[in-house]
Structure 1
Amino acid sequence: MQIELNEQQAIALYRILCRWESTGKLTVSVGEETRLLWDLQCVLEKELEPVDEAITKRLV
């Protein structure tokens, strides 16, 4: 699967990953970063549908 990001989305994702690397915590600021993760979730849901409940429970 390939997911394409525009420049703004790539920068937002990069900021999230840099924070995670430096703090060890995956945090997201409200606004652009939150929107990016919602957009990525939508793309993944469309590609992976139907999502098996056993897969989602492994993440919790």
Structure 2
Amino acid sequence: MKILYLLFPFFLLFLQSAAGSPQALGKREDCLQRNGFCAFLKCPSLSLIAGKCSTFQLCCKT
């Protein structure tokens, strides 16, 4: 029960970052302009990581 007051702020910060922001959209657009695509957690085979689109998405290039 003592850890509950520490867990609550962490949970709120996690939800706030998962909600998305205008910066995340800009990163996605930058990835697409560089002829890349966004993939969830890992890039498919024969693709290289070229950056990040958002918290859980990577920018991949073939």
Normalising by the residue count of structure 2, what TM-score does the alignment of the two structures yield? 0.31
Specify which structure has the higher proportion of helix: 1
* Structure (1 or 2) with the larger CA radius of gyration: 2
Higher strand share: 2
Task: Using structure 1 for the length normalisation, give the TM-score.
Answer: 0.32
The structure with higher relative contact order (CA 8 Å, sep 6+) is 2
